[in-house]
Chains A and B, each alone.
Chain A
Amino acid sequence: MRDSRLLARLLADPAAAREVQDWTSLIAVARAESLAGSLAWRLEGRELPPRVEALLEAARRDGESARVQALWEAEMARRALAPLGVPVILLKGTAYAAAGLEAARGRSIGDLDILVPRAALPDVERALLAAGWEWVKEDPYDDQYYRRWMHELPPLIHRERDRMIDVHHAILPLTARPKPDMERMIGDPVPLADGLFVLSPADMIVHAAAHLFADGDLAGGLRNLWDIDRLLRQFGERDSGFWPALRERSQRHGLLPAVRRAVRLARHLYATPINWCQAPISKSLDSQGTASEKIGARHQLTATDALYRRRLLARDGWGRARRPLTRLAFYVRSHWLRMPPLMLARHLWVKARRR
């Protein structure tokens, strides 16, 4: 089995671990996709060769230390912003960890991502600068570009702790075609015990899908899709109203196609259970059986999905990125999605002249 494909299979079905022939390649792929910690957790308690077990045990401990650091960074941001009385919503890995979600298990967490109301940005910026964060970039074009068009402040880094913070006011660049309803998203967060917030379950998925398809070039996509798998499973099991809410929210934010694609690909790669048509209250076995047959056809990958899958699995057993043309196409696409064509041309021109 191809290397990144095998990684996905093992994440979905840890029992397949006994079929692994080449652990070195599997680990190289998992590290390259930032999924080594997640894999280590999925394989916990399995009978594995001792050397493999020792490596995975170290990966689990490393994931735990990443979790502590990420939560600490969130706490330091909370202390810096508490006097403002502004809701601070954690995003991505830090949010999953703070909310104790399954998706955080073993997940590597890089920067701290937070979401605040756009009107609060100047105050937030001032408070962070006063608490030891500094600008990373000094370039005026980049700075202006960020402030005018992007969904976040230019990145800040803490001068003592060397950790970056991305302060978002929206989940997509302002130039992107879908226009999520940020007021609704920010107005309906889930409070955590310590005065921080995370997005509601449906919005969390919407953000993860937007981040995966409408924003980036799909680098690290296998990990982002793994997040989506874990979140869908956990939310779907916890709350029978989750799937209808997901449909409603995705539609409202103009991101239903992205969410549906994420769900299809997650099901394809990670066998995620899907329940778009779930009856909210009663579940009769026979009707569900027929329903899922019918829905099955709608969960088939489309031709475009297949391209995405090709991009997501573009990694060989040495951890090398493969399929340069597919990757280039997705890179160009990522810019195309973020900006109207004229603006894109200007942006690429300014960037190119500096090379």
Chain B
Amino acid sequence: MAASLYAADPPETLRTVELEGLTLLYHRPSGLTHFLAPPAPQILEALAAGPATAAEIAARMGEAFEIESEDPAAAIAARLSELEAAGLVWRT
């Protein structure tokens, strides 16, 4: 089975405010406010460049950050499903 391709709303539809290491995010399409902890905001940033698979997201994040994780694939998949449930990412 082909890996799912994830997409996110473009950055101009989001308002973010950093508070004590957390990202407070207002999502215009839904009118909802979310509190995000790392690495959720970084995943959204990675998706700003366009839809990507979980592996591509990990690669994009690896360009900007030193990734620290025992099982990056599982961690990113778990974060993606949280973001998906919140409506912040979806599968295309």
A–B direct contact (CB < 8 Å): yes
Residues in A76-96 with C-beta less than 8 Å from chain B: 76, 79
> Whose C-beta in chain A lies nearest to the C-beta of B87?
A76
B85 touches A160 (CB 8 A): yes
Does residue A75 face the partner (Cβ distance < 8 Å to B)?
yes
State A69–B29 Cα separation when bound (angstroms): 8
Q: What chain B residues lie within 8 Å of A72 (beta carbons)?
A: 29-32, 87
> Whose C-beta in chain A lies nearest to the C-beta of B90?
A79
> Whose C-beta in chain B lies nearest to the C-beta of A71?
B29
A68 touches B30 (CB 8 A): yes
**Interface band, chain A:** 10 to 19
Residues in B13-33 with C-beta less than 8 Å from chain A: 28-32
**Interface band, chain B:** under 10
Q: How far is the CB of B76 from chain A (nearest CB, A)?
A: 20
> Whose C-beta in chain B lies nearest to the C-beta of A83?
B91
Q: How far is the CB of A331 from chain B (nearest CB, A)?
A: 36
State A160–B32 Cα separation when bound (angstroms): 12
A68 touches B85 (CB 8 A): no
> Whose C-beta in chain A lies nearest to the C-beta of B28?
A68
Q: What chain A residues lie within 8 Å of B87 (beta carbons)?
A: 72, 75-76, 79
Q: What chain B residues lie within 8 Å of A132 (beta carbons)?
A: 85
Q: How far is the CB of B38 from chain A (nearest CB, A)?
A: 22
Interface 1/0 per residue, A57-76 and B, CB below 8 Å: 00000000100110110011
| Chain B, interface SS category | loop
Interface 1/0 per residue, B27-67 and A, CB below 8 Å: 01111100000000000000000000000000000000000
Total residue contacts A-B, CB cutoff 8 A: 21
Residues in A105-160 with C-beta less than 8 Å from chain B: 132, 160
B90 touches A68 (CB 8 A): no
Q: What chain A residues lie within 8 Å of B90 (beta carbons)?
A: 79
State A117–B41 Cα separation when bound (angstroms): 39
A68, A76, A79, A160: the one within 8 Å of B31 (CB): A68
Q: What chain A residues lie within 8 Å of B31 (beta carbons)?
A: 65, 68-69, 72
Q: How far is the CB of B85 from chain A (nearest CB, A)?
A: 7
State A214–B85 Cα separation when bound (angstroms): 38
A65, A75, A160: the one within 8 Å of B29 (CB): A75
State A209–B8 Cα separation when bound (angstroms): 39
Residues in B55-92 with C-beta less than 8 Å from chain A: 85, 87, 90-91
Q: What chain A residues lie within 8 Å of B29 (beta carbons)?
A: 68, 71-72, 75
Q: How far is the CB of A104 from chain B (nearest CB, A)?
A: 16
State A15–B59 Cα separation when bound (angstroms): 62
- Among A65, A71, A72, A75, max chain B CB count under 10 A is at A72
Q: What chain A residues lie within 8 Å of B32 (beta carbons)?
A: 72
Q: How far is the CB of B53 from chain A (nearest CB, A)?
A: 17
> Whose C-beta in chain A lies nearest to the C-beta of B84?
A79
Q: What chain B residues lie within 8 Å of A68 (beta carbons)?
A: 28-31
- Among B28, B31, B90, max chain A CB count under 10 A is at B31
Q: How far is the CB of B1 from chain A (nearest CB, A)?
A: 13
State A240–B53 Cα separation when bound (angstroms): 49
Q: How far is the CB of B83 from chain A (nearest CB, A)?
A: 13
Q: What chain A residues lie within 8 Å of B30 (beta carbons)?
A: 68-69, 72
State A75–B9 Cα separation when bound (angstroms): 13
State A115–B63 Cα separation when bound (angstroms): 46
List 15 contacting pairs A-B, 8 Å CB cutoff, sorted by A.
Answer: A65-B31, A68-B28, A68-B30, A69-B30, A71-B29, A72-B29, A72-B30, A72-B31, A72-B87, A75-B29, A75-B87, A79-B90, A79-B91, A132-B85, A160-B85
Interface residues of chain B, those whose CB is within 8 Å of chain A, are 28-32, 85, 87, 90-91
Interface residues of chain A, those whose CB is within 8 Å of chain B, are 65, 68-69, 71-72, 75-76, 79, 132, 160
Starting from the known contacts A75-B29, A132-B85, 5 additional A-B residue pairs (CB-CB under 8 Å) come to A68-B29, A71-B29, A72-B30, A79-B87, A160-B85
Top 9 nearest A-B pairs (CB, nearest first) are A72-B30, A68-B31, A79-B90, A69-B31, A76-B87, A65-B31, A72-B29, A72-B31, A75-B29
